[in-house]
Structures are given as C-alpha cells and as structure tokens.
Amino acid sequence: MKIIGIAVLLFVGLMTFSFLLDVFQGMSPSEALHNNLSFGILELGESVVIILYVLIVLAEALENARRKKKRT
C-alpha cells in the first residue's frame, strides 16, 4: 500500500509542478488545468510507458501484500 501511496504522491506533485509552470508561463489557470489533464494527445510510446509504469507499481504492491500474508 505504501508503494501505491508514494506513486500517487509523486504523480500529484509532478502534476502540480507542471500546472504551476504553465501558469507562470502566462496561461490562465483553466487553460493550464486543461493542458495538464488532457491525456488524449499522448503518442503511442508515451501511452505504453504510462501503462507499464502503472502495471509495475500494481505488481509490486501485490507482491508485497502476498509476502506479508505468507509471513503471518
């Protein structure tokens, strides 16, 4: 569960950083939010990397949960 929490925390932190950079470059907050939340413009390679990252994080979380169950 810690791994998923850390991944979510990193994601939120990086999205906030990206949002603030867009605002400081002159975009309005609504434009910056739209720019950061539009995942439809990703290319195939970027989509594959995001999917693999999510799958690896979930696999590690499941493996850790399985190990904890075996120990107890």
The reported pLDDT for the residue numbered 44 is 81
The reported pLDDT for the residue numbered 25 is 95
Q: Say how many residues make up the chain.
A: 72
Does an H or E element contain 39, and which?
none
Q: What is the pTM of this model?
A: 0.59
The reported pLDDT for the residue numbered 29 is 93
The total of other beta-carbon atoms located within 10 Å of residue 32's CB is 19
pLDDT, tens digit (0-9, with 9 covering 90-100), for 10-21 = 889 999 999 999
35, 21 in Cβ contact below 8 A? no
C-alpha–C-alpha distance, residues 52 and 22, integer Å:
27
Domain that holds residue 35: 2-71
pLDDT, tens digit (0-9, with 9 covering 90-100), for 22-61 = 999 999 999 998 888 876 666 888 878 888 988 998 898 8
Amino acid found at 10: L
Q: How many domains does the chain have?
A: 1
Asked if the model's pLDDT at residue 8 lies above 90, the reply is: no
36, 18 in Cβ contact below 8 A? yes
